[in-house]
Homo-oligomer: A and B are copies of this chain.
Amino acid sequence: MDDALFTYEMAVRDYECDLQGIVNNSVYQNYFEHVRHEYLKSIGIDFKDYTDRGIHLVVVRAEIDYKQPLTSGDTFTVTLKLQRETKLRFVFYQEIIRHSDSKLAVKAKMVGVALNSNGRPHIPAEIEKIFSHPIA
């Protein structure tokens, strides 16, 4: 994870666990989304503000590998890397590292696009700027 663009510390909340006693699969998407939004905020992009201005950042494809479950009491680090896939699609690579054993718990590739209020692709200047410099 040394080369991650952004890292974020989190902890499992008990209500996120399901009847198997582990974090429900859907919740990892919440974690990943939250960390993407925190990353965006860190570079000056506010998700809600974008939404209010009619710029919709949406995920069009998710690939998620569940390697190890998280459970009550677990703390973990979420990492993020970003790549431009095409002119209009950008990809977040995200990993969840469980603190108890430093194991990779979940990894994801999330493909996003930006749409204007007509549903047409539209990459805002702030996002163009991210890609104007090489990213580790």
A-side residues, CB < 8 A to B, are 13-15, 17-21, 24-27, 29-30, 33-34, 37, 46-48, 51, 56, 58-67, 69, 71-73
Contacts and interface: CB of A to CB of B under 8 A. Distances in A.
Contacts of A63: 61-64
A66 B59 contact: yes
Contacts of A51: 19-20
Contacts of A58: 20, 66, 69
A119 B33 CA distance: 29
Contacts of A18: 14-15, 17-19
Contact of A60 (B13, B20, B34, B65): B65
A33 B61 contact: no
Given A19-B51, A26-B29, 16 more contacts: A14-B33, A15-B33, A18-B18, A19-B21, A19-B48, A19-B72, A20-B58, A25-B29, A25-B59, A26-B27, A26-B33, A29-B29, A60-B66, A60-B67, A61-B66, A62-B62
